[in-house]
Amino acid sequence: MNQLSIFDQLQFADTSETLIADLMAFKEFGKNTLCEKRDGIPYFINEFWTAGQRQAHSIHEISYRACFKAQLPEFFISRLTQPGEAVFDPFMGRGTTPVQAALMRRRAFGSDVNPLSILLARPRLRPISLQAVATALRSIDWSKGEIEREDLLAFYHPMTLRRLEALRLWLSEHAPLGTNDVDPVADWIRMVAINRLSGHSPGFFSGRSMPPNQAVSVKSQLKINEKLGVEPPERDVVQVILKKSKTLLRDGGARHQNIFSLHTSSAWDVSGIADSSVDLVVTSPPFLDIVQYATDNWLRCWFARIDPDTVAIDMHRTEEAWTEMVRRVLKEQARILRPRRYIAFEVGEVRNGRVLLEKLVWRAADGLPFERLGVLVNDQEFTKTANCWGVDNGSKGTNTNRVVLLQRR
């Protein structure tokens, strides 16, 4: 008799005990899982997936602030779902969870309050070819661009900025906002262009700037130019888009039969997702007041013709406010999840490890229709297990992946 998969065991037993046993037996990277309780919460500590660069499918190589690596949703999707089932992320950001779900032949569900998220995720869920991208780029009248914002010359050579304006005009005709009925090739070109607006190498449209997952202010960019003693060089917009497209498609593109459902909505009110229609939730919310999403994405919003003032991204500056937000999100996930299915709710350490957000998620789930199974800690290579309870590497921000595991009753 063939050994049952972890999914089949879970279905047969209808219990979380098999999942816990799988975590305890995990030894793919040569380490034993450490299990201990802190403040009544079971922790399972191991290197469950690699944090190495370029280990995931190439189509994930889209930059977005505070996103997790594709290996995280892959770990849970492979264990807790089968092909054809629905995987959802209510804070999808760049779309890591739905894209990974589609790659694994699951139905890809996602939502985010930021309309940029759909523009980054949707194009990678539909089949595309490099030849189609090249043909579309040749059809654009690049002479139509006129500079509307002189301040953006802090980032771009005048000729580059005119071409970006011409591209924006073309996209307005071929990929208008507010509808899913857009040309897939134009959708792809916009996604790539959004990702190439500012960066630190010739692979971006801008002169030397901050890393591509955020945009500095015009004032800050002028200071960078002055400090380096340079002006933004002219970039070949077509070649930048083609080069990035080739990189993204290195491992192949989306399958023709992908089924996906993407929404722009608050994580606690996803009316487009039906009751009891989701088999797994893998997500990660904004971490208190660490990330300034609206500020970071202002340049992307300009290119996509999105008014950032209309994007209602909440900033939860206190633990109480953040916990209440999580509770509202979990209530909504309880509505859409099928019975006995799971949530993998990833959080991180913030404020130099003084706040462990998994404890707040644990508290938020109290009294809701979930079994609280524990916290999986992905103990990365650079993180010593002895230090996994707080940041001790001389840096701020997130040090480990910490995933609260919940099961719908």
DSSP β-ladder status, 86-89 and 278-283: parallel
pLDDT of 289: 59
pLDDT of residue 396: 44
Looking at the structure, tell me whether residues 237 and 327 fall in a common domain.
no
Q: What is each CA distance from 347 to 56, 211, 223, 360, in whole angstroms?
A: 21, 23, 35, 10
42-97 pLDDT tens trace: 999 999 998 665 679 999 999 887 788 999 999 999 999 999 999 999 999 999 99
Q: What is the dihedral of CA 150, 302, 293, 216, to 10 degrees?
A: -20
3-class secondary-structure state, position 349 = strand
Contact present, 400 and 380 (Cβ < 8 Å): yes
Q: For residue 312, tell me if it sits in a domain.
A: yes
**What domain count does the chain have?**
2
For 94-124, write each residue's pLDDT tens digit.
999 999 999 999 999 999 999 999 999 999 9
Whether residues 167 and 228 share a domain: the answer is: yes
Answer yes or no: is 320 within a domain: yes
205, part of any domain: yes
Asked, for residue 255, whether it belongs to a domain, the answer is no
Q: What is the pLDDT of residue 353?
A: 64
Q: What percentage of the chain reaches a pLDDT higher than 90? A: 73
Residue 325 has pLDDT above 90, yes or no: yes
Domain that holds residue 380: 19-115+260-294+307-408
Write out pLDDT tens, residues 360-398.
999 999 999 999 999 999 987 644 444 454 544 434 444
Examine residue 122 and state whether it is found in any structural domain, yes or no: no
Q: Is the pLDDT of residue 139 over 90?
A: yes
Indicate whether 362 belongs to any domain: yes
Statement to judge: residues 146 and 81 lie in one domain:
no
Q: Same domain for 366 and 393?
A: yes
Cα separation, 25 vs 22, in Å, equals 5
Residues 86 and 172 in one domain: no
What does the pLDDT look like over 266-313, one tens digit per residue?
999 999 999 999 999 999 998 775 556 667 889 999 999 998 877 767
Q: What is the mean pLDDT of the chain?
A: 89
Evaluate if residue 12 carries a pLDDT over 50.
no
Question: If you write DSSP's letter for every residue of 157-173 in order, what string do you get?
Answer: -HHHHHHHHHHHHHHHH
Residue 269 sits in the same domain as residue 404 = yes
Identify whether residues 78 and 139 lie together within a single domain.
no
**Would the pLDDT of 36 be above 90?**
yes
SS3 assignment, position 189: helix
**Do 264 and 387 fall within a single domain?**
yes
- What pLDDT band is residue 352 in, cutting at 50, 70 and 90? low
Report the relative pairing of strands 86-89 and 337-347 from DSSP bridges.
Answer: unpaired
Residues 268 and 152 in one domain: no
CATH of the domain at 321: 3.40.50.150
pLDDT computed for residue 6 by the predictor: 56
pTM for this model (two decimals): 0.91
The lowest-confidence range among 191-200, 254-263, 306-315 is 306-315
Number of neighbouring beta carbons within 10 Å of residue 143: 9
| CB 406 within 8 Å of CB 365 | yes
- Domain membership of residue 13 (yes or no) is no
Query: Considering the domain boundaries, does residue 3 fall inside one?
Result: no
pLDDT tens profile 201-243: 999 999 999 876 788 999 999 999 999 999 999 999 999 999 9
Query: 270 and 157 in one domain?
Result: no
Tokens of 189: 């070109």
pLDDT at residue 8, as a whole number = 58
Say if residue 107 is in the same domain as residue 177.
no
Q: Are residues 138 and 237 in the same domain?
A: yes
Task: Give the DSSP H/E element, type plus range, for residue 281.
Answer: strand 278-283
**Per-residue confidence (pLDDT) for residue 149, from 0 to 100:** 96
